[in-house]
Structure 1
Amino acid sequence: MWLGEGYWLVRFVFQRGLAAIYLLGFLAAARQFRPLAGEDGLLPIERYVEHASFRERPSLFYLYPSDRVIGAAAWTGVALSALALLAGPYWLPEPFAVPAAVLLWAALWLLYQSFVNAGQLFYGFGWESMLLETGFLAIFLGAGDAAAPALVIWLLRWVLFRNMFGAGLIKLRGDQCWRDLTAMDYHYETQPMPNPLSWFAHHLPDRVHRAETFGNHVVELLVPFLYFAPQPFASIAGVATIGFQGWLLLTGNFSWLNALTIVLAVSTFSDGVLAAALPVGVPSPTPAPVGLELLALVLAVGVVALSVQPVRNMLSEQQVMNTAFDPLHLVNTYGAFGSITKRRHEIVVQGTDDAEITADTEWKTYEFPGKPTDPGRRPPQIAPYHLRLDWQLWFAAMAPSPRRQPWFTRLLVKLLEGDEGTLSLIAENPFPDEPPEHVRAVRYRYRYTSPEERSNTGDWWRRERVGTYVEPTSLDEVRGGTASRRRRGR
C-alpha cells in the first residue's frame, strides 16, 4: 500500500455515500426531467438536439430524444443506484467482484452523463459536473476483498481540493464583502433557497458572522493543502471540511453540493482512522488486481493532463467557476458565491379565472415547494434533493423581466394550459379544476422579519412589490408572443 495506508473501509463508506447521491440525482431526473427538458418541456429536448452536437455534449437522448427513453433511463438509474447502495457486486467472489463493480459504476456514470448533457439550463450546476467527475473515478475503485487502488483515492482528494480551493479563491477575488468579512450578513437571507435554520443563522450576532466568514477562508484556502499531508493531518483536514459542509447543510438548501463534498472528504481518511471512529472491523484485503492498478495509473496520467486548464483557470485573475473543459466532465473547475446578492428578489406567479382584468380581479398564487412565496411559510428543508425549477426562479428574479429566460414564457403557457407535468413541479395549484384565464408574474423584494416582527406576526418574511415581471396575459396572448400591456388591477 502507498504510504502504508489501507483504503478498503474508506472505499466501503465512499461508495455507499456516492450511491446515495446518484439515487437522489436519478429520482430528481425521473420526476423533473421530462417537464423541464423532455419532448414538451420548458426547454424541449429538440432544442438541445438542434443546438448541440453529440461530440460536444454526448447523451443517449441525442440519439433517442424521447420521453419514454428518458423515463426508462431515469428509473434504470434509480434501480442501479439502489443496487450500489444496498448490495451491489461488493460481496461477489473473486474474480467477479471487480469487473461487476466496474460495469455498475460505469453504467451509472454513462446514464447520468446523458441527463447532464441534455438537461440544458436546468442541469447547468457545478455539482452536476462534480458528480460526474467523482463518479468516473469511482469506476476504478474496485470491490470485494480486493484493496482499493491508492492512486484513485488520491485523485478523489484532488477533486476535493479543486472544489474547496477554487471556491475560496473566487470569493477572495470577488465581492468586497468576503474581504471585509461581512458576507454572512447577507448570505442566509439571499441564498437561493433558505431552510428552517437560515432565519436563525441570519440573526446571529455580527461578531459571529465575522468569525464565520474568516473561518470560511481558512477552511477553503488553507485546509485543502492538508488533504495531501500524512496522517493524521489529512484526516484532521477531512474532519474540518465535513464540519464546514455540515454547517452549510444545516443552514441552507444547496442540492447535494455539501453532501457530495462530505462524501469526497471521506477520501482524506485511512482505514485505521475510520476503524477508530466507527464500530466496525477492517478485513485484511487481498492486493488490488494488477489490471486495476494499471488502469489507475493510466487514469492518473490522464487526470494530470486534463488538469492543466482547470488549474490555469483556478490561478487566473479572470477565474470562472463551475466550468467543464471536456465533453465528458472528467476534470472540471469549481467555485461558488464569488459575489453575494445583497437584496433578495422573488417572482410570484399568479392566475385568475376572470375573462376580463379589472381593478377588482382576484389573483390566486402558485406556491413552489422551495420558494418563500408566502411570507408566513417557514422555509422548508429540501436538500440534498434538488428542485431545479425553483433554483432557476431564483436566478430569474435577479432581473426585472424574463427577457433572458426563454423557459419562463413556456412556464406561463403550461400553467394556462393546466399541463400536468408542469403542475407536478408546483407545491400548490390554486386552480385544481380548470386552468386560469389569465396569469401574471409580480416581482417582490423579500427580507427576513426581525425577531420582534416574527414574535408579533409569526411571519418569516416581509416583502414589498418592486415591479411587474410579466403583465396579465391570456393563453392566446402569450402564445402569440404579445403579453398584455394592461396595467389595470396589477
Structure 2
Amino acid sequence: MGNPLPRLHLRNLFFVALGLVHLAAFVSLAAQVPVLIGSRGLLPAAPWLEALRDRVGFADLPTVFWVDASDRTLQTAAGIGVALSLGLVWGVAPRLILALLWALYLSFVSVGQVFFAFQWDQLLLETTLLALFVAPGRVDQRGNPPALPAVFLMQWLLVRLHVESGLAKLLSGDPSWRDFTAMVTYYETAPLPTWVGWYAHQLPAWCHRLSAFATLIIEIVVPWGIWGPRWMRRASVGALAMLQVLILATANYGFFNYLTLALCLWGLDDGDLAALARKLRVAPTVRARTAAKASHTPRWRALALWVSVAVWVPLSLVPFFHFIPPLRGTLQEWRSRLEPFRSVNAYHLFASMTYVRNEAVIEGSSDGHTWSAYEFHYKPGAVTRAPGFVAPHQPRVDFQMWFLLLRGRAPRDRYFQNLLARMLTSPDAVRPLFVRDPFDGRPPKWLRVQVYRYRFTDDAVRRTTGAWWQRELLASLGPVSADDFAGAFPRD
C-alpha cells in the first residue's frame, strides 16, 4: 500500500494547492454573501437561524453564526477566510489554520441553505479535516514527512471520490451510463457549460460513447492504481488528472476540479516530484533533500493514526451504503449523526444525467405590453452569447437556477420567489446578479417567467447566425406584481 518514499515536498505543495482552493472559495463567497444570505439577500441567514433557534442546536446546525449573523459579521468572516487561506498558502501554522478554515467554511455551509448544498462544498470540508492528519503539529516537525497512515487517509479520499461516483452511475438506474450514451447530452445540459463544451457536443456519437465508457473505467478501475508500483501510480494520477482537465474545459463546477487535482497529488511522492523537476530543469536536489528527512514517527503516534484509519475507513462508507435500500434503516442513526458536519460524505457526481435543458428567463415590464429580459452574468440567456469560463468562482444563483425546472415548469423554490420579490420591491439588492438593469434601478411593475428549451446549435447555424444556442418557448408564467409578494420581506 503506497510507496515508502517520503512526501515532505508533496505535502507542502498540497497545502499550497489547498490554500489556493480555499482562497478561491472564500473570495467567491465574499462577493456573493450579501445577495445570498445577507439581510437583503434571497435567503437571509439571521431570520432563518432565529426561526430554528428553539428547535435545533449546534450539533444539528454547527455554525458560529448562531452568535451573530449580521451582514457585518458575515462579511468579516468571509474576509477572515481569505486571510486564513493565504496563511495556508504561505505555510503559516498549517494545522491551526486548517482547523480554523474547516470550522469557518462549515459555518457558511450550514447557513447557506440550498446555495451551499453542492458535493464539492462537502468535499472541501472533508479534505480540510483529513489534511489535519498530515499537517505538522509543531514548528520542529515541519521537516518530517507525513506518516504513512495519514497519507493513506488522503489517498482513501481520492479513491473513494472517484469509485463512489463511478459506482453511483451504474447503480442509479439511469440507462444512459449502461448503454454509454450519457455524454450525448452532457455538454449541452451541464449547469454552466463553456464554449469548449459546445465544440465537444458536435463530436460524433461513437466518440460520446467512448468517452462515457472511459469515464467509468477511469472512475471505478484506475484509482486503485495509486497503491501500485511507481509506473502504475503515475499512470493512474495522469488519467485522473486528465479527466478533471477535460471537465474543466467543458463546464464550470466552481473549485471542484481544482480541489480534485490537488487530491491527485497524493498518488505521487517526492521521488515523482523530483523526476518532474528534472524534466522541467528546476530544483534538481529535491530528492536528495527529501531523502535526508526520513520519517521517524513515534510508535504511539503511528498507532494512533492507524486506529484513526481503522475507524475512518468504515465510517466513510456509511453515507454511500445508505443509498443501498437493505442497509438504509441500519445506518440511518449513524448517518444522521455525521451529516450535519458534512465531513464524512457520499460522492455520486453525475449519477443521473439530464436529457433536456429548460431555462427560466425573467422579463420585466412597466406597462404590461413591452417586456425586457434580465440577463444573468453566467447562465444561458441570449442565444448569441458564448458560454464562458468562470471557475473556480461559482456564481451560486446562476448555478442553482439550473435545478429550478428539473421537477416541472412551475418554479416554486423559495429563493426564486424571493428573487422575484426583490426585483419588484428593492431591485438594488439583487442588481449584482444581472449584466444590466433594463429599468435603470427602478422596479418594474410586472414580471413574468418565460420557460425555454435550450439546445446547442450546430456548426452550420452558428456560422450563419452567430448563435451558440437555439431555444423554443415552452410556457409563459405570470405576470406577477409587487402586490403578489406583499409582506415577503420587512420594509427596507
* TM-score between both structures, scaled by the size of structure 1: 0.88
Note if contact 2:319-2:344 (Cα within 8 Å) is conserved in structure 1.
Answer: yes
Partner of 2:17: 17
Identify the match of residue 101 of structure 2 among 108, 120, 133: 108
Partner of 1:209: 208
Identify the match of residue 123 of structure 1 among 112, 116, 130: 116
- Aligned-pair identity in percent equals 34
Partner of 1:285: 293
1:224 aligns with 2:223: yes
1:346 aligns with 2:359: yes
Q: Which runs of 5+ in 1 are unaligned?
A: 90-99, 482-490
Deviation at 1:316, TM superposition (A): 6.2
Q: Deviations over 1:198-256 (max 9, x none)?
A: 11000011111111011011101111222333433223211110011111101111112
Note if contact 2:404-2:411 (Cα within 8 Å) is conserved in structure 1.
Answer: no
Per the alignment, do residues 214 and 241 of structure 1 end up closer, same or farther by CA in structure 2, a change over 3 Å counting?
Answer: same
1:430 aligns with 2:438: yes
Deviation at 1:288, TM superposition (A): 6.0
Partner of 2:4: 4
Deviation at 1:54, TM superposition (A): 1.7
Partner of 1:266: 265
Partner of 2:316: 307
Partner of 1:172: 170
Partner of 1:96: none
Deviation at 1:161, TM superposition (A): 1.5
Per the alignment, do residues 473 and 458 of structure 1 end up closer, same or farther by CA in structure 2, a change over 3 Å counting?
Answer: same
Structure 2 Cα separation of the partners of residues 296 and 425 of structure 1: 46
Partner of 2:139: none
Out of 429-438 and 71-80, give the one that drifted further: 429-438
Count of matched residue pairs: 462
Note if contact 2:184-2:205 (Cα within 8 Å) is conserved in structure 1.
Answer: yes
Deviation at 1:60, TM superposition (A): 0.7
Per the alignment, do residues 35 and 402 of structure 1 end up closer, same or farther by CA in structure 2, a change over 3 Å counting?
Answer: farther
Alignment of 1:39-118 (within 5 A): 39-45=39-45, 46-51=47-52, 52-85=56-89, 87-89=90-92, 100-118=93-111
Cα root mean square deviation, aligned: 2.4
SS of corresponding position for 1:145? coil
* TM-score between both structures, scaled by the size of structure 2: 0.88
Deviation at 1:311, TM superposition (A): 4.7
SS of corresponding position for 1:139? helix
Note if contact 2:35-2:429 (Cα within 8 Å) is conserved in structure 1.
Answer: yes
1:27 aligns with 2:24: no
SS of corresponding position for 2:207? helix
Note if contact 2:409-2:475 (Cα within 8 Å) is conserved in structure 1.
Answer: no
Deviation at 1:125, TM superposition (A): 0.5
Structure 1 Cα separation of the partners of residues 448 and 40 of structure 2: 22
Relative to its length, the structure with more helix (as a share) is 2
Partner of 2:147: 149
Q: Which amino acid aligns with 1:50?
A: A
Deviation at 1:315, TM superposition (A): 6.2
Partner of 1:94: none
Q: Which amino acid aligns with 1:340?
A: M
Structure 2 Cα separation of the partners of residues 335 and 166 of structure 1: 6
SS of corresponding position for 2:145? coil
Partner of 1:93: none
Note if contact 2:43-2:415 (Cα within 8 Å) is conserved in structure 1.
Answer: yes
Out of 413-422 and 255-264, give the one that drifted further: 413-422
Structure 1 Cα separation of the partners of residues 183 and 456 of structure 2: 14
Q: Which amino acid aligns with 1:306?
A: L
Deviation at 1:88, TM superposition (A): 2.8
Q: Which runs of 5+ in 2 are unaligned?
A: 137-141
Q: Which amino acid aligns with 1:453?
A: V
Q: Deviations over 1:376-421 (max 9, x none)?
A: 0000111121111011111002244455401111101111234434
Q: Which amino acid aligns with 1:162?
A: R
Partner of 1:139: 132
